[in-house]
Amino acid sequence: MKKDRVVIALGGNALQADPKDTTAEAQLITAKQTARPLVDLIEDGHELIIAHGNGPQVGQIIATYEAAAGVPIMPFPECGAMSQGYIGYHLQQAIREEMVYRGIAKSIAAVVTQVVVDKNDPGFENPTKPVGSFFSAEEAARLEKENGYVMKEDAGRGWRRVVASPEPIGVVEAPIVKTLVDAGHVVITVGGGGVPVIDKGNGILEGVPAVIDKDFASEKIAEILDADYLIILTAVEKVAINFNKPNQKDLDIVTIKEIKQYMNEGHFAPGSMLPKVKAAMKFVESKPGRKALITSLEKAKEGIEGRTGTVIVNR
- Return the DSSP state at 146: H
Identify any residues that bridge with 9 across adjacent strands, giving them in sequence order. Answer: 51, 232
Does the annotation mark 202 as catalytic?
no
Contacts 24+ apart (CB under 8 A), 262-267: 265/241, 267/240, 267/241, 267/242, 267/243
Q: How many residues does the chain have?
A: 315
d(CA 255, CA 129): 31
Tell me the C-alpha to C-alpha distance, in Å, between residue 7 and each of 49, 75, 106, 166, 177: 5, 29, 17, 21, 12
Among 80, 214, 301, 309, the active-site one is: 214
Number of Cβ within 10 Å of residue 44's Cβ equals 13
Tell me how far apart the alpha carbons of residues 303 and 305 are, in angstroms, rounded to a whole number.
5
> Which amino acid is located at 43 in the chain?
E
For residue 3, indicate whether it is catalytic.
no
Q: What is the 3-state secondary structure (H, E, C) of 170-237?
A: EECCHHHHHHHHHCCCEEECCHHHCEEEEEEECCEEEECCECCCHHHHHHHHHHHCCCCEEEEEECCC
* 106 given a catalytic annotation: no
Residue 189 to residue 115: CA distance in whole angstroms: 10
Name the active-site residue from 88, 194, 238, 276.
276
Is 276 in the active site? yes
CA angle at residue 100 from 8 to 25, to 5 degrees? Answer: 70
Which residue of the set 106, 129, 178, 260 is catalytic? 129
Catalytic residue status for 12: yes
**Nearest partner of 200 among 101, 118, 256, 271, judged by Cα:** 118
Catalytic residues: 12-13, 129, 214, 276
